[in-house]
Amino acid sequence: MISLSTTKTILFTIAPFLIPKLLNYYRALRAKSQTSPLPIQPIPKVVYRSLNILFIAALLSLISTLPHFAPENIFKITSARLQTSSEVLFSRLATARGPSGLTDADTTLKPKLASLDSRLLYLTYGPDVLTNCPFCTSDEPTTYLYYALPSFIIPHIFNLLALGLATSNAVTGQWGTRWRTTAASLGVCLAVLNIWLFTAYNWKANARALRPEQYVLFYWRMRVARGVMLSLADAVIAALMYLSSTNRAFVTPPSAQERMEVALKTLEQSRGKMSAMAVVRNAVARDEGLRRRTEGYWVKEGRVMGEVMDEREVVEGVRSALESRVRVATVEEEARKFADALVVGPPPQQDIS
């Protein structure tokens, strides 16, 4: 495992180059979102369900890293060296536990920690593998890896199920399916990375350790690292879905076909409203009572508006607004064009045949 000092050195070396690039990338995304044709919108309701699923999965992954859920390490409890005899080691363990004493699992584990290699494998693969594996021997260390593989992969499988549910079409629609491949690839890469770390790790690394403080508790460190990485993966997918669903980043403009479909639907709705308005006006014009009421309304409206516009304050306010804010000639020209297009209609197409 990489030591803390090595990690700090790497971070201090990479950070001056990495942080400016990340800031520039964030600014580019923000500028792109501001110039995007799609406005920023609230989080869709279907995305809330996906974010809740990812939050629960990330929370469970973080909870699994707590010491309460980790198997105990007898060498850490007893502060014993790897060369300590089994009798002394387990007598210290019984003393440290108090009245409860040794359990059946401790009795099963005791003869399997007789050699130094088995204790090194204990620190690498954990107590469950040495206690329950029926075919593992220290002469063939890879057998411990084969037996431990399911316990490594099961958390990744559950996390992949959570990612798949959160990005499914049934739960989030288009907002989730867009990131489905990314989520699956990220989950598989984390599982492969976990297996590779256990495969590449030198299980004899603790052979030269003289004091308990120098032991590399690989199995327990990997449990914490796995939980943190899974929670970060869930957080990354949640952030991508949040940014894309609210049009803050990763915005995909609608295609020409989609824009044409929206325009056609808008035109059809407008045509339906205008047809309904024509029917209503026709009914009003044919009915004598309604026609009189309509004429009376417009006569009264004209008289009221005329009285309002004759007031001095209104006249001065209109004149001030026209002089300071509105170009009258431009407004009149636009009104004329709108009226011509509404009354005359588009120019007729010429017959080419």
- Give the distance, in angstroms, between the CA of residue 113 and the centroid of all CA atoms in the same chain: 45
Q: What percent of the chain has pLDDT over 90?
A: 23
pLDDT above 50 (res 351): no
Structure-model confidence comparison of residues 89 and 59, the more confident one: 59
Alpha-carbon gap, residue 290 to 242, rounded angstroms = 54
Is the separation of the CB atoms in 131 and 105 below 8 Å?
Answer: yes
Structure-model confidence comparison of residues 250 and 215, the more confident one: 215
Query: pLDDT per residue over 272-304, tens digit each?
Result: 888 888 888 888 778 888 778 888 888 888 888
| Helix ranges, 201-347 (H) | 218-245, 256-286, 288-309, 312-324, 328-343
Compute the mean pLDDT over every residue in the chain, rounded to the nearest whole number.
Answer: 82
Query: pLDDT per residue over 311-332, tens digit each?
Result: 778 777 777 766 665 566 677 7
Q: Which residue has the tokens 């594996």?
A: 133
Alpha-carbon gap, residue 182 to 179, rounded angstroms = 5
Q: Which residues contact 149 (CB under 8 A, 6 or more apart)?
A: 195
Alpha-carbon gap, residue 150 to 197, rounded angstroms = 15
Alpha-carbon gap, residue 313 to 217, rounded angstroms = 86
Residue 41 DSSP SS3: coil
Alpha-carbon gap, residue 57 to 229, rounded angstroms = 12
Residue 179 CB neighbour total at 10 angstroms: 23
Query: pLDDT per residue over 249-263, tens digit each?
Result: 777 766 778 778 888
Is the separation of the CB atoms in 81 and 211 below 8 Å?
Answer: yes
The pLDDT-based confidence of 1 (bands split at 50, 70, 90) is very low
pLDDT above 70 (res 208): yes
Is the separation of the CB atoms in 137 and 129 below 8 Å?
Answer: no
109: its two tokens: 């584990």
Residue 72 DSSP SS3: coil
Instruction: Please provide the DSSP assignment of 188-219 as one string.
Output: HHHHHHHHHHHHHS-TTGGGG--SGGG---HH
